[in-house]
Amino acid sequence: MSEITQWSLHRLREALRKKEVSAVEVARAHVDAVGKAGALNAVTTPTPERAIEMAEQSDKRLAGGEGGALEGIPLGVKDMFCTEGVASTACSNILEGFTPPYESDVTERLWQAGACLLGKLNCDEFAMGSSTETGSSGAVCNPWRGNGDARLTAGGSSGGSAAAVAARLMPVSLGTDTGGSVRQPAAFTGTVGLKPSYGRCSRYGIISYASSLDQAGILARSVTDSAILLGTIAGHDSRDSTSADIEVPDYESELKGGISKMRVGIPKEYSVDGMPGEIDDLWKQAAGWLEEQGAEIIEVSLPHTRHALPAYYIIAPAEASSNLARYDGIQYGKRAKANGVDELYGRTRAEGFGVEVKRRILMGSYVLSAGYYDAYYLKAQRVRALVARDFDNVFEKVDVLLAPTTPSAAFALGEKTDDVLALYLGDIFTVPVNLAGLPAISVPAKLNGEGLPLGMQLIGRRFDEATLLRAAKAVEDSAGFDAVPQAWWSP
């Protein structure tokens, strides 16, 4: 394995600026790593030529002393982002052959900053899932195996983005987080997963799942690297009416502040029956780390937490069923053979969507239908308001919250395929944040008894990513997590 692929974004940036390596050398090392990692199935559409071409441009700019914030940094993006001229399918057969004529706002910002595209990354179909098994490209395999031999899930839906960063195929990547899809895969792969506040990054050009919950997110190997990337992708965009027109701080320098006197809330509801004792112990240990660094630990209550998951699994499918109505075989992607327009719609959708997406469309259409709208959809929206109000109340007393990211470590591929409720339950600690539009981050904190990574989650006030990242850095510093998976996939 090339040494260059072990370097963090921060380290690469220094080496490129000092001309210790060229952008083309950096791109080649990563293209090579991607090429050898087929067993992980993390990259669905590799773009090696584009990566090298972009790196050549970066080298020219670096030679001229120009260079953007990410000049020469190779990275991959989840297949939920529209990338001009590169297939963008949300890992769905219904978008087979769709190559967008435009670029998403956040990826456009990456290329403007000098980053180079290594490829599109595998995910659950339309980002619906928690295990990256439902997409048209098949399952992603977690680089971590722990003490056993079983092939494990890298989490989902941004499993490809997380596996690629954990396996050192790229220093950072983009995912999307609608209900935990960046934080949960981060926890399962020993990487840092950041979901910014709703409105912090533009959703323009991100294939929609549930529009009131979707956010672009970052997978990285350190909090500093996520801060650097957030500074690039955040910002107002008039093409997304929910994008916030507020200042973007310099997150990297804000990290230096430390956490002295920071008030950290421990929400007592973030503990569930059946959660392994080692996750509870880690949570206490992490609170201790923050206290040692000068924070004040305060127990708080978010009483509506247990209603968040059912509300999410009504609201997200409702919005999804409406968003997915546009895939009719006429405008984009796949078109089934049929006689007449009704048959064309029906067949295209029957052949194009996978089983999980169909399940969400059925649930969503049901809860939005005339007789059930008040009983389900409207009630779920009321619950959502209560969940958000709980957070508002505690953020009067504390600056950030500390909780586990997931109630378990990575599980085996196929283990929950027949039990979707068990899969949905795994999202219990991540969905409340999306319902309330808050920023949150998962930081790798230790390996469990089976040698698998566990993540701790920090949750911040809306648009206060700077404080959130500072707290995350403190957890990272104390945890000192430096374990790396064995490169079993590389021939």
What is the dihedral sign for C-alpha 192, 445, 142, 212? Answer: negative
Quote the least distance from Cβ 12 to ligand GLN, whole Å: 28
- The answer to whether 139 contacts ligand GLN (rule: CB under 6 A) is no
Query: Which region among 2-10, 179-187, 267-275, 276-284 touches ligand GLN (by CB under 6 A)?
Result: 179-187
Question: CB-hemisphere CA count at 13 Å for 289?
Answer: 20
Given a contact cutoff of 8 angstroms between Cβ atoms, the answer to whether 153 and 159 are in contact is: yes
Of residues 340 through 399, those in contact with ligand GLN by CB under 6 A are none
Nearer to ligand GLN, 182 or 259 (CB): 182
Question: CB-hemisphere CA count at 13 Å for 443?
Answer: 31
Distance (Å, rounded) from C-alpha 262 to C-alpha 58? 40
Q: From the list 181, 191, 405, 467, which residue makes contact with ligand GLN (rule: CB under 6 A)?
A: 181
Quote the least distance from Cβ 193 to ligand GLN, whole Å: 11
Quote the least distance from Cβ 319 to ligand GLN, whole Å: 11
Q: Which string of DSSP letters, residue by residue, matches 44-85?
A: EEE-HHHHHHHHHHHHHHHHTT---TTTT-EEEEETTB-BTT
Query: Which region among 170-178, 242-250, 378-386, 474-482 touches ligand GLN (by CB under 6 A)?
Result: 170-178
Catalytic residue among 58, 131, 157, 243: 157
- The answer to whether 305 contacts ligand GLN (rule: CB under 6 A) is no
Quote the least distance from Cβ 254 to ligand GLN, whole Å: 26
- The answer to whether 177 contacts ligand GLN (rule: CB under 6 A) is yes
- State how beta strands 400-404 and 263-267 pair: parallel
Nearer to ligand GLN, 26 or 324 (CB): 324
| H or E, element range at 15 | helix 9-17
CB atoms within 10 A of CB 277: 8
* Strand blocks (E) in 112-196: 116-121, 172-176, 192-195
- The answer to whether 178 contacts ligand GLN (rule: CB under 6 A) is yes
- The answer to whether 432 contacts ligand GLN (rule: CB under 6 A) is no
Nearer to ligand GLN, 176 or 224 (CB): 176
Catalytic residue among 78, 120, 334, 416: 78
| Token pair belonging to 426 | 């795994």
Of residues 111 through 130, those in contact with ligand GLN by CB under 6 A are 127-130
Q: Which residue is associated with the tokens 């009719």?
A: 328
Question: Is residue 241 exposed (0-12), middle (13-18) or buried (19+ Cβ within 10 Å)?
Answer: exposed
Is 78 labeled as catalytic in the residue annotation? Answer: yes
Of residues 195 through 224, those in contact with ligand GLN by CB under 6 A are 209
Q: Mind telling me the catalytic residues?
A: 78, 157, 181
Q: List residues binding ligand GLN (CB under 6 A).
A: 127-130, 157, 176-181, 209, 316, 427
